[in-house]
Structure 1
């Protein structure tokens, strides 16, 4: 199966489930940037339940801006804030220390463009999981794709939250129960080397 999907900020579990099922993954890089999607946000499990991490971006005066042209608003200390949130949420998780040194540099090195940063996050996760996916980038935007299964709808956080996945142990599950389909970081820090087995055991059907 060949799929097309958006590269997102520490992608959700659903994104990785479909990418592992695919023979070839094409990243959509020629679409327009839309607000309130996983392009610049991810969800983690904090002490008060589901928590949003949102990367501030520089909004153009134009009506439409290409995803690949959107700059991160680095005047805000978002990296320090996100790293503090991750420490607060996951430092007591079983595998946080195991992956900390791989992930921490992303929150100390500045990146200008949101797409570039998301691709870096993806590469780091693949390194952590020793995952070798066959990935390429789109050459132009096609509203309807003929030769690939279209999972671009997963970039929409509202559509995606309904994905029912098997439960696993989470740091604060005794407080708020199991929260499905968070950032891949939640699964990685809680399940460690078992992350790939978990992802391969889940299924998503295309719309």
Structure 2
């Protein structure tokens, strides 16, 4: 299966389930940025339940701006805030300490562009999953694909359109709030560790 996806910030489990079950991955690089999507946000399981982690971006006067041109707003120390939130959420999970050092570059390095950060986050997660993956990138934007051989999973970046439902696994605070479905892949990684890849390969995908 060949798939087309948007790079996003520590992508959802649905993103990585599609990637784990694919033969070839192409990332969309020519789209216009859309607010209220997972291009610059991700969801984790906090002690209080569902928590949004949002990367602040520099606002532009342009009505349309390509995602690859979006710059990160550095006036806010969002990296410190996000890492503290991850610690509060997952410090007691089985595998947080095991992967902590691998993830630190995302919260220490100052990226100028959102796309660069998203691609580095993707690369780090692949290494944590021991997933060897090379991807292609688009050079032109098409609203709809003419190629029936490629499955268009770009809709997954819009959480409201992503209706994926996955098998429950043990989560840190599920005794308080129950199972929360399709969070950031980090939730799966911290809770399942080396078993995460098997989980991703066995989940049903909505095409």
- TM range, normalised to the smaller chain? over 0.9
How far is the alpha carbon of 1:33 from its aligned partner?
0.2
Query: What TM-score do you get using the length of structure 2 for normalisation?
Result: 0.97
- CA-based RMSD of the aligned residues comes to 0.7
Unaligned 5+ segments in structure 2 are: none
**Counterpart for residue 197 of structure 2:** 196
How far apart, in 2, do the equivalents of 1:134 and 1:3 lie? 13
Is 1:168 aligned to 2:169, yes or no? yes
* 1:30-179 map, 5 Å: 30-147=30-147, 148-160=150-162, 162-179=163-180
Following TM superposition, the consecutive aligned residue runs of length 4 or more in structure 1 with deviations greater than 4 angstroms are none
SS in 1 for 2:51: strand
When the two structures are superposed, what TM-score results if normalisation uses the length of structure 1?
Answer: 0.97
Deviations 1:136-185 (A, max 9, x none): 1111101111221111010101112x321000000000000000100000
State the distance in 1 between where 2:197 and 2:76 align.
Answer: 34
Partner of 2:20: 20
Name the count of aligned residue pairs.
205
Q: Which runs of 5+ in 1 are unaligned?
A: none
Superposed displacement of residue 96, structure 1: 0.3
Matched residues in 2 for 1:145 and 1:163: separation?
22
Within 2, Cα distance between the matches of 1:49 and 1:7?
A: 25
Shift of 1:205: 2.2
